[in-house]
Amino acid sequence: MATLTAPAGHPAAGSSIEVFAYLVRNAGPTILVDTGMGDGNAFLDDLYRANRTSLDTALAGAGATRADIDIVVNSHLHFDHCGNNRLFSGTPVYIQSREYEVARTPHYTVESWIAPEGVLVREIDGDREIARGITLLFAPGHTPGHQSLAIETPSGLAIIGAQVAYTAAEFEAGGDPAEAHDGIADNYYASIRRLKSLRPVRAP
């Protein structure tokens, strides 16, 4: 959905950052995990040299439209994961309460992108089954309220790790401390261990 360039001071300074969303379609509700980077913030556009693909275009590439989305999940509330929540007025958006709390602190995110008028935030605490065979898993570490998604499929359990780890290689290796939020590295490692212990058929 977007390619960003990590600025000076970022752990990955100078490298490209790919911004993803995930579409979940099964016999139940259609779920969108994360909504990408929003528009209209000149500071972030310049700092990260943002090159976007619109959410509508990305959904069309998967054979879907915004109207198909029944549930939105924000894995966490950094600006590149909640920026298009505004496009889903009237659709429930699931966010961990701890994440919603920390997102109100200065310089954490673009707060106005989280829950503009019409967006129906559903705060949860910890794990929660949100549809048959689809469970949100509290996975703090990258942020204090990060969450992942577990999906029961005919082939076994699939995990959308989101940013529980930055890459699949990092996930398999058990983590990189540069990716942990200040002061909660233990949670970061524990969340990766937990997801790995579920033995998903697909990793993040």
The per-residue pLDDT for range 82-119, each reduced to its tens digit, is 999 999 999 999 999 999 999 999 999 999 999 999 99
Is pLDDT at 204 greater than 60 in this prediction?
A: no
Residue 200 has a CB neighbour count (10 Å cut-off) of: 19
Is pLDDT at 61 greater than 90 in this prediction?
A: yes
Is pLDDT at 166 greater than 90 in this prediction?
A: no
Better pLDDT: 69 or 178 = 69
φ, ψ dihedrals at 46, nearest 5°: -75, -45
202 pLDDT band (50/70/90 cuts)?
low
What's the average model confidence in pLDDT over 164-177? Answer: 90
As a whole number, the mean pLDDT across the chain is 94
* Residue 120 C-beta-side C-alpha neighbours within 13 Å: 8
Identify whether the C-beta of residue 132 lies closer than 8 Å to the C-beta of residue 143. Answer: no
Domains of the chain are 2-197 (3.60.15.10)
- Structure tokens of 48? 């990260």
167 pLDDT band (50/70/90 cuts)?
confident
Give the full edge-to-edge strand order of the sheet including 16-19: 16-19, 2-5, 51-52
Buried b / exposed e across 9-42, counting CB within 10 Å, b at 16+?
eeeeeeeeeebebbbbeeeebebbbbbbbbeebe
